[in-house]
Amino acid sequence: MTKTAQVIAAILEQLQQTLQQTQDAANEAHQAATHEQSVPETQYDTLGLEASYLAEGQSRRVAELQEAITRFHQLTEKEFGEDDPITLGAQVIVEDEHGNRRHLFLGPDAGGVEVTLDDELITVVSPAAPLGAELVQKYVGDAVHIGQHLYEIVEIG
């Protein structure tokens, strides 16, 4: 299994765990919203309404996670060379002026998810985020801003 396939598998595992937790939370919120004790006793009793808002938000999060999982399953594995531009599926190592490195993976979704592989923390960024958009079509040697720091792209894999 290639390193890219391992990264994608680790991301999918993390997303599946988060999906299960979110589904459980959505079910609990739904049960709370429909429980007989959630029926308002006065016009100011909003417990049931609040629980229904929570259930709705959790249900939306479940749908977002399911979409992210689908997109990662559809992601085609590609080998990247030093002269290739960054596109979806690229593993990118950036380095700041102090030699501190960050390992990034440009995924189709799930920005902010972090996985550890071979003792390396890899952060998923997506093109929808400013950093992900800045990375797309860049090459080794190009500079990118992460927050207030300037990083150089030192490796694409």
Q: How confident is the model at residue 27 (pLDDT cuts 50, 70, 90)?
A: confident
Is the whole-model pTM more than 0.95?
no
Q: Pull the structure tokens for residue 96.
A: 């700041």
Q: How far is CA 157 from CA 3, 7, 18, 85, 112, in A?
A: 9, 11, 27, 10, 19
pLDDT at 39 over 60: no
Q: Helix count (H) and strand count (E) of the chain?
A: 3, 6
C-alpha span between 112 and 8 (Å, rounded): 14
pLDDT tens-place string over residues 75-96: 988 889 889 999 999 999 999 9
Give me the pLDDT at residue 146, please: 80
Q: Pull the structure tokens for residue 127.
A: 């093109």
Mean of pLDDT values over 17-30:
88
Give me the pLDDT at residue 107, please: 96
